[in-house]
Amino acid sequence: MSRTPFDPSYEELPDVLPIFPLGEVLLLPGGRLPLNIFEPRYLAMCDDALAGNRMIGMIQPTEQETEERAPEVYETGCAGRIVSFSETEDGRYLITLAGLIRFDVRAELPAKSYRLVEPDYHRFKEDLEEAAGEIDRDHLLKVLREYFTAHAIEGDWNVITQATDEGLVTALAMICPLGAPEKQALLEAMTLTERAETLTAIMEMSLHNESGETLRH
């Protein structure tokens, strides 16, 4: 991933991280995630983040939230930095998070409204460097065309074909309409090669399942 002068070094990463549990939403290192913030607790989270290091952890819940308790979350998420911010007249924040580094949840900490965790970045230190590894780009693009057609998704193929391998895999993993387990598998893939192979396999499985359902009908 390309770094900016505003990105923290590994040593500067925060020891406490607010988390935003959101199902079927994926942030990856090097990716950009726009968010529409309207719940009071998450408005407060953004206020505090903007007043500090501007860092928020995106993580997926493993169950539905109830009035009695907050949902359990996966053990791994991705920390992002707020790189754009605007207010709306109806009381919402529109922010964009730039993905920096994945983290494991070492512990959840006491909190008043939004949730806080103690993150462990150790396994993912290389997220702060340029992603290395080869991908089978031709096969990925072939499957992608079939997947987009099956899901009536229009893609800008000029942009897609000109993207770097890392940029292509990151963007596709984040925008494809996948379920939480598939999104989590892409998040936890350790290398660019592994993530590309996982993404290709998920799309192939989706196409196979849809073909089978069509034949049965």
CB 75 within 8 A of CB 104: yes
DSSP 72: P
List pLDDT tens digits, range 86-144: 999 999 999 999 999 999 999 999 987 899 999 999 999 999 988 778 999 999 999 99
Residue 95 backbone phi and psi in degrees, to 5: -125, 160
pTM above 0.85, yes or no: yes
* Structure letter (DSSP) for residue 71: P
Q: Are 127 and 13 in contact (CB under 8 A)?
A: no
Q: Are residues 57 and 49 in contact, defined by beta-carbon separation less than 8 angstroms?
A: no
More confident residue, 210 or 79: 79
pLDDT band at 67 (very low <50, low <70, confident <90, very high): low
Residue reference for tokens 């988390």: 19
Q: Does position 211 have pLDDT exceeding 90, yes or no?
A: no
- What pLDDT, on the 0 to 100 scale, is given for residue 208? 85
| pLDDT, averaged across the chain | 91
Which architecture, in CATH terms, is 10-128?
Roll (2.30)
For residue 11, give the DSSP letter.
G
Q: Considering only the C-alpha atoms of the chain, give the largest distance between any 2 of them, rounded to a whole number of Å.
A: 57
The predicted-structure confidence for 167-186, as pLDDT tens digits, reads as follows 999 999 999 999 999 999 99
Q: Mean pLDDT check: name the lowest of 87-101, 148-162, 177-191, 201-215.
A: 201-215
- Judge contact between 176 and 150, C-beta under 8 A: no
Q: Using pLDDT thresholds of 50, 70 and 90, give the confidence band for residue 212.
A: low
Confidence of residue 217 (pLDDT cuts 50, 70, 90): very low
Residues paired with 21 in a beta bridge: 59
| 65 compared with 48, residue with greater pLDDT | 48
| Whole-number pLDDT of residue 1 | 62
The pLDDT > 90 percentage for the chain reads 79
Among 1-10, 19-28, 85-94, 205-214, the minimum mean pLDDT is found in 205-214
List of long-range contacts for 35-44, beta carbons under 8 Å, 24+ apart: 35/94, 35/95, 35/96, 35/97, 36/92, 36/93, 36/94, 37/92, 37/93, 37/94, 37/95, 38/91, 38/92, 38/93, 40/113, 41/113, 41/114, 42/114, 43/91, 43/93, 44/113, 44/114
